[in-house]
Amino acid sequence: MTTATPFHKILIANRGEIALRVIRSARAMGYQTVAVYSTADAASRHVLEADQAVCIGEPLPAQSYLRIDAIVEAARRTGADAVHPGYGFLAENEDFARACRDAGLVFIGPSPEAIIAMGHKAGAKQIMMDAGVPCIPGYQGEDQSEARLAAEAERIGFPVMIKATAGGGGRGMRLVESAKAFPELLRSAQSEALNAFGDAEVILERAIIEPRHIEIQIFADRHGNAIHLGERDCSVQRRHQKVVEEAPSPAVDAALRERMGATAVAAVKAIRYEGAGTLEFLLDQQGQFYFMEMNTRLQVEHPVTEAITGLDLVELQLRVAAGEALPLRQEDVRLQGHAIEVRLCAEDVDRGFMPQSGTLRLWQPAQTLRVEQALRSGAEIPPFYDSMIAKVIAHGATRDEARRRLLQGLHQTVALGVTTNQVFLGACLRHPVFAEGGATTAFIARHQDALLQPDAAVRERALVLAAALLFETAGGAPARPLLRRLAHRLPVGLLLEVNGARHSVHVAQTGPDHFLVTIGETEHGVALVATDTQGDAGRVRVVLDGVMESADFVRDGAQLWLHYAGQPVTVTDLTRSAAQRASDSGGDGKVRASMNGRVVAVLVAEGDQVEAGQPVVTLEAMKMEHVHLAPVAGRVLGLSVGVGEQVTARRVLAEIEAPVAA
């Protein structure tokens, strides 16, 4: 006989848009909510919107959102009787699920035993094979010696995938093309796995070349019922991190969906699973699918499933956790239309997708789409967490309608002040291979040059608009003596930097709010028709070369952020500044932090001789590691940081003394 586990107040052990997503459904069902937060998130929206909130510590080094004791204590202090882990941090942590159960709290997720069974890749794979689920040939044995793993890789045949058994998100994962490359990549994967998950154990699998990444959403209750809600295609990835997700998959027909869904349901019934979960498969080019792993939680990309099924998956989680039976059977599940989601991340695509942090000066999400976010203008993007800051989701009657709507929504989304991957996401959606439904896991790597190609025409027009705006709103653009020359309509020279490239621009005023902007040999006419400003931010209506359009902008001294033609553009007025110091490029031998982050490795010692390009210090920011290299060859003169230390962008990490030329 099954027992009910009613609850009344839910603590959400997560942050940001994840916590807000759970709050929304919980509140609609009549539950009170409790948020937890680190000191870095004290002013975050999830903290302000929950009924109650409890601070659980500093973001580093304790990683407050991972402090099981503090979270359980927060539940006790607020009278919460249930805990929702969100879909990150502790969502797949069996110790957390057990601690909640031991404290008398309802854990809104699977049992600790199920998390253990499916959270360890080697064990999960064995369970799936025993249940008759097709699995990728490989090795998941206890002998983790380099010699045994190398021998097993030879047996499997190259290329081979190395995967950390304890984790996900692409960490501890390496593709090995040859036996010669295996030892170094093995050590690299084991080191990353140990740092990320506290466990260096790996499994080996035969590499499936250019597959589709297909996942099946399942739900099961404690009454023995289990269903699937169709598939999602998550093939568009970069370094095993998902970028674009959609449902249903353009590569899965009704017959394949039924087979994969039935396989997933049989698998979760075999382990008496309860709650939401996702079975992830690789689909090869011959239509054969193989089990990859199971995520014992709700997925980041669950909104696309909600869009095509009309179901609230968080609501289903809460009902199942309270002991209710699933309110629908498999035959009740209907898939309507198509949905696509993109992950908006704070990262600089032009600098190797480096994570970014700082102040989001202006934030205006698309009003026509579902946008999962916890942002506002003036919000701080901290360096301690994942770089994803929002998800943008479109639904349409057809795949192409959903794609067009998503492109238009991205075009309307204004995110200024912190560099994001917004333009890159649009390039992915517009690429003909994606548009035709042909993207595999190799899509970004294969088409990266085209996806990263800047729109030179848009950048030049943005530069023209920026020159006029900087001139018009001048506090510090041209010096005052130059402004007096405008009475004679003489051109004023500006030195502007746009997304890292410098341009010499000349501006002449030809009438009230009318300008002639010259770049090289090309002249552009600009008229500022109307400017609606609030402080240093606003929207301008402009006629540029005879075409009227709008742009959003934020100004801070010599810095101007523009959202123009659906793209963010950063412009810096260097007219009155000295040339950028040579030290900025590392020519002085100083190794500077490229972002805010934590030092995870110091790879040299004082007095060492290093070569130019040799790794010196490794920083971790937003769950990614970034190796900083020696800018010159020479002797390490000094190190100013140690492992575990938190550093800010541009801080000197090490100094290298180059040999004096004879």
Q: Look at residues 160, 158, 189, 188 and name the one whose alpha carbon lies nearest to residue 173.
A: 189
Q: What 3-state DSSP class applies to 316?
A: helix
pLDDT digits (tens, 9 = 90+) for 147-176: 999 999 999 999 999 999 886 667 888 999
Among the listed residues 15, 238, 297, 555, the single catalytic one is 297
Across the range 622-636, mean pLDDT stands at 80
Per-domain residue ranges for the chain? 9-108, 137-206, 212-455, 457-573, 582-657
Rg of the chain (C-alpha set): 27
Q: Is the pLDDT of residue 581 over 50?
A: no
**pLDDT one-digit tens code per residue, 194-224:** 887 888 999 999 999 899 999 999 999 999 9
Task: With beta carbons less than 8 A apart as the criterion, state whether 637 and 596 touch.
Answer: no
297 is catalytic: yes
483 Cβ contact partners less than 8 Å away, ≥ 6 residues apart: 474, 492
State pTM to two decimals.
0.84
Q: Which residue has the higher pLDDT, 547 or 645?
A: 547
- pLDDT tens track for 248-303: 999 999 999 999 999 999 999 988 999 999 999 999 999 999 998 899 999 999 99
Distances (CA, A) of 197 to 167, 240, 491: 6, 17, 60
- Topology classification of domain 457-573: Glycoprotein, Type 4 Pilin (3.30.700)
> Exposure of 580 by Cβ count < 10 A (0-12 exposed, 13-18 middle, 19+ buried)?
exposed
CA–CA distance, 576 with 589 (Å, rounded to integer) = 27
Q: Which residues pair with 294 in a beta bridge?
A: 279
CB-based contact 164:173 (threshold 8 Å): yes
CB 560 within 8 A of CB 470: yes
Tell me the pLDDT of the chain averaged across its residues: 90
For the chain, counts of helices (H) and of strands (E): 17, 39
CATH node for 137-206: 3.30.1490.20
Alpha carbons 208 and 159: distance in angstroms, whole number: 8
We find that the CATH architecture of domain 582-657 is: Beta Barrel (2.40)
Residue 358 token pair: 């700082």
pLDDT at 474: 52
Contact 189, 172 (CB under 8 A): yes
Residue 495, helix vs strand vs coil: strand
Q: Spelled out in words, what is the top-level CATH class assigned to the domain 212-455? A: alpha beta
pLDDT exceeds cutoff 90 at 411: yes
Scanning the structure block, which residue is given the tokens 């770049």?
Answer: 519
CATH second-level architecture of 9-108?
A: 3-Layer(aba) Sandwich (3.40)
What was the pLDDT predicted at 623?
59
| Per-residue pLDDT tens digits for 475-504 | 333 433 444 344 345 678 889 998 778 899
End-to-end CA distance of the chain: give it in Å, rounded: 88
Strands 559-564 and 275-283: unpaired
Domain 137-206 and domain 457-573 have a common topology: no
SS (H, E, C) 569-616: EEEEECCCCCCCCHHHHCCCCEEECCCCEEEEEECCCCCCEECCCCEE
- For residues 169-195, one letter each, b for 16 or more C-beta atoms within 10 angstroms of the residue's C-beta and e for the rest, the string is bbbbbbebeeeeebeebbeebbebbeb
CB of 70 within 8 A of CB of 64? yes
